[in-house]
Amino acid sequence: MINVRHLSKHYTSGIVNKRLTRAVDGVNLSVPKGSVFGLTGESGCGKTTLAMLILRLVEPTAGSITIDGKDITRLGKRALNRLRPDYQIIWQNPDTSLSPRLPLKDSIMEPLRYYARVRRKDEAAILSRCCKMAELPESLLGRYPHEVSGGENQRAVITRLLTLRPTLLIADEPTSSLDVLVQAQILELLKRIQKQLAFTMLFISHDLQAIGFMCDRVAVMRNGKIIESGACGQVLSAPRTPYCRELVDNAFRPWRFAS
């Protein structure tokens, strides 16, 4: 579904001493339709920039991105806007994804109304169905984000994207702001709805255990480049590069406590 070719994003910062950051540097990537593709690597390696490039939330310095056969780097604003509801993203922190001034229900319904995808009289049934899928109790819909837990806010974010029935979901560290128990519940939820609706998912995480649980394939980034990719089981059980071996060793090494 996604085909990324020679994609780069370079940032220049500083006024006197200009510094070039190659956030994404010549990346090639293919994500099959309906699969869950993991993207991992240490902080600052370029994962979020790659996600933002794929959704064209930032403009590339070079390269092309094709989604479902459309080169989205060449689309005009209007054509891109028509596709926006199909390509959704979940960010790390649900608190910043929801308006603090709106009850959950209004935040959830906003994109559906904006894109006018359904008739007004069908909205309540859609809301109810999506709440059920995301396991968000409807009794919370009148509350504001600060009146519910982080996990419930993330469920509201998931309910909102479900109303649009996306064909592509990018989940950028969707559980890293949540406590461990809630993390597991949200991962299980994402896995279940992905299976049910069969959308393509790009799952970004530092957590290799989460990657192992969620993904069919995985790519490891370092300094803006993909240094290893393949079937998730193969990369996590027999990484080829010394860098990936170290990442895997650290991720699965049991904690040792001082006696």
Ligand X SMILES: Nc1ncnc2c1ncn2[C@@H]1O[C@H](COP(=O)(O)OP(=O)(O)OP(=O)(O)O)[C@@H](O)[C@H]1O
Closer of 152 and 172 to ligand X (Cβ): 172
Whichever of 21 and 185 has its CB closer to ligand X, that residue is 21
CB of 14 to ligand X, least distance (A): 10
CB of 53 to ligand X, least distance (A): 9
From CA 237, how far away is CA 107, in angstroms rounded? 42
Find, among 182, 216, 185, 223, the residue nearest to 200 by Cα.
Answer: 216
The Cα–Cα gap between 90 and 190 comes to 11
Contacting residues for 53 by C-beta, under 8 A, at least 6 apart: 4, 7, 9, 24, 60, 65
Phi first, then psi, for residue 202 (nearest 5°) are: -105, 115
Q: Residue 164 has which token pair?
A: 């649009």
Establish if 223 lies at the interface with ligand X (CB under 6 A): no
The burial class, CB within 10 Å (0-12 / 13-18 / 19+), for 93 is: middle
> Per CB under 6 A, does 89 bind ligand X?
no
- By beta-carbon proximity to ligand X, the closer residue of 41 and 63 is 41
C-beta separation of 114 from 173 below 8 A: no
The footprint of ligand X on this chain (CB under 6 A) covers a number of residues equal to 12
Smallest distance from ligand X to CB 45, Å: 4
Residue with tokens 């926006």: 84
Residues 14 to 53 in contact with ligand X, rule: CB under 6 A: 21, 23, 41, 43-49
Sequence-ordered list of residues with C-beta below 8 angstroms from that of 214, at least 6 positions apart, any chain: 36, 38, 187, 190, 191, 201, 203, 205
167: contact with ligand X by CB under 6 A: no
**11 in contact with ligand X (CB under 6 A):** yes
* Nearest CB to ligand X, comparing residues 44 and 150: 44
> Nearest approach, Cβ of 200 to ligand X (angstroms)?
20
Closer by beta carbon to ligand X, 39 or else 186? 39
13 binds ligand X (CB under 6 A): yes
Of the two residues 21 and 28, which places its CB atom closer to ligand X in the complex? 21
Give the footprint of ligand X on residues 65-84 (CB under 6 A).
none
Q: Residue numbers of the site for ligand X (CB under 6 A)? A: 11, 13, 21, 23, 41, 43-49
